[in-house]
Structure 1
């Protein structure tokens, strides 16, 4: 019985490490979401509109609701928008 518990604990620890390794590098590497710079099919994840939740789903180039991860502090230099500004523009377009 002890070996089953040890195996389950090890599996849980491995799963947690895997999850942490997927989410930590972006933050640890000093990255930020930059809206409006993704080309069609090259966004990193879901958009502001909530019409999709996957990478590679952007329909047009430079959609202000689509984002890519960039080095922190470089978004505006690339012509992009940080999340707060992107949300303002998105709401203005909807209103």
Structure 2
């Protein structure tokens, strides 16, 4: 395989990965109408999305970090000890 073929293969792989990620993101958003973001309740490795320190779900490094969040059923966040908004300044270091 020469450089040109390698570049084309890489571009195609990237396009496929991006379209798959987009499709998966659309499916996961459909079931969230009855849920809300709850900060401070995610266990290490079980957060639902990225923060200023990382860009992906499942990358939380500590339990109950105030800047990490997880989707929970509406009306249950504060009952389980979480907050509906990120702690002011928690996103910046």
Report the TM-score, using the length of structure 2 for normalisation. 0.65
Question: Which of the residues 67, 72, 75 maps onto 1:73?
Answer: 75
What is residue 46 of structure 1 aligned with on the other side?
A: 50
Q: What 5-or-longer segments of structure 1 have no aligned partner?
A: 1-14
Q: 2-side partners of 1:90 and 1:19: how far apart?
A: 25
CA deviations over 1:15-41 (Å, ceiling 9, x no partner): 9987643322112xx100000001111
The alignment partner of 1:90 has SS state of: coil
Question: Which one has the bigger helix percentage?
Answer: 1
Give the CA RMSD over aligned residues: 2.6
